[in-house]
């Protein structure tokens, strides 16, 4: 019963907001402005029967994931380097702070001058995710317990052993948190870039065309696809990382 509780809670939450949406749709009673949830769901199933739906979803998925994976790698590398060198931190941290606080649209417009529209969504996702991953991992490295680091030093841990036994388990919760945020950021930034640059076969193009043709139900359906993809990828990524190093996370949380 205890295991079912979160599921029941989730269903109740979903049902509540679907009900609110349905009431609003009835109240507005103009599907062009606000289609009902049922209408959107039906439209989604219709779209799913078309080959173009899967083509667009898969292309966007690959594009954005590619940008995100590269960003996670670079973010981790920068975190390691900046935590090891004060000079590098001094040089790199302002740049990442600027990237973090600049509106994504500004980057997209600027990058349009340099890059092709097919590459731009991946680049935008990459650019938005690097600072998030860097900040989280850097904080994780810096907050590693100095008592444990001293213990490792006294007992002559080699660098690989110190990384495996002290740093990695300490940083893992920060890494998971980074991945959770990164997936959300990557999707939002990537789809925004697609909407603004309308590359061939992409979710962004579908969203743009739905808006252009006033197909509001399609717009909602595609937005639903973006949300579902984001949630599924986050669950898959977090559960596989947790499974790979499950006990580390469990212990670091409970102690």
Q: Measured in Å, how far apart are the chain's first and last C-alpha atoms?
A: 27
Please state, in angstroms and rounded to a whole number, the distance separating the CA atoms of residues 21 and 39.
12
Inter-residue contact 134 to 181 (CB < 8 Å): no
- Estimate to the nearest angstrom the gap between the alpha carbon of 218 and the chain centroid: 23
Angle subtended at Cα 95 by Cα 91 and Cα 97, rounded to the nearest 5 degrees: 120
Phi and psi, residue 201, nearest 5°: 45, 80
Cβ–Cβ contacts within 10 Å for residue 155, how many?
9
Is the CB of 106 or the CB of 146 nearer to other proteins?
A: 146
Is the CB of 114 or the CB of 155 nearer to other proteins?
A: 155
- Concatenating the DSSP letter of every residue in 130-189 gives HHHHHHHHHHHHHTS-HHHHHHHHHTT--HHHHIIIIIHHHHHHHHHHHHHHHHHHHHHH
Is the CB of 105 or the CB of 151 nearer to other proteins?
A: 151
Query: CA 204 → CA 62, 145, 179, 212, distances in Å?
Result: 13, 44, 23, 12
Is the CB of 42 or the CB of 148 nearer to other proteins?
A: 148
Is the CB of 7 or the CB of 154 nearer to other proteins?
A: 154
CB of 201 to other proteins, least distance (A): 45
Is the CB of 236 or the CB of 244 nearer to other proteins?
A: 244
CB of 81 to other proteins, least distance (A): 25
- Residue count of the chain: 255
CB of 185 to other proteins, least distance (A): 28
Inter-residue contact 21 to 35 (CB < 8 Å): no
CB of 248 to other proteins, least distance (A): 5
Which residues bind to other proteins, rule: CB under 8 A?
147-148, 150-151, 153-157, 161, 165-166, 169, 247-248, 251-252, 254-255
CB of 174 to other proteins, least distance (A): 14
Is the CB of 102 or the CB of 150 nearer to other proteins?
A: 150
CB of 148 to other proteins, least distance (A): 6
CB of 137 to other proteins, least distance (A): 18
């Amino acid at each position: 019963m205890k295991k079912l509780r979160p599921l029941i809670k989730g269903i109740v939450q979903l049902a509540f907001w679907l009900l609110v949406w349905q009431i609003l749709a009835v109240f507005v009673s103009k599907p062009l402005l606000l289609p009902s949830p049922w209408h959107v769901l039906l439209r989604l199933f219709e779209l799913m029967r078309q080959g173009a739906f899967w083509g667009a979803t898969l292309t966007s998925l690959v594009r954005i994931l590619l940008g995100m994976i590269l960003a996670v790698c670079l973010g981790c590398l920068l975190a390691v380097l900046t935590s090891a060198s004060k000079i590098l931190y001094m040089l790199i941290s302002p740049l990442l702070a600027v990237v973090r606080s600049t509106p994504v649209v500004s980057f997209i417009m600027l990058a349009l001058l340099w890059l092709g529209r097919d590459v731009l969504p991946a680049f935008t996702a990459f650019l938005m995710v690097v600072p998030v991953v860097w900040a989280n991992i850097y904080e994780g490295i810096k907050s590693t317990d100095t008592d444990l680091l001293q213990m490792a030093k006294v007992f002559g841990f080699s660098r690989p052993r110190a990384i495996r036994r002290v740093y990695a388990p300490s940083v893992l919760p920060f890494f998971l948190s980074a991945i959770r945020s990164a997936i959300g950021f990557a999707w939002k930034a990537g789809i925004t870039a697609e909407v603004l640059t309308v590359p061939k076969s992409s979710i962004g193009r579908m969203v743009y065309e739905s808006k252009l043709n006033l197909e509001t139900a399609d717009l909602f359906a595609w937005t639903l696809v973006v949300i579902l993809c984001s949630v599924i990828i986050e669950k898959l990524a977090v559960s596989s990382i947790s499974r790979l190093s499950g006990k580390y996370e469990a212990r670091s949380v409970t102690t």
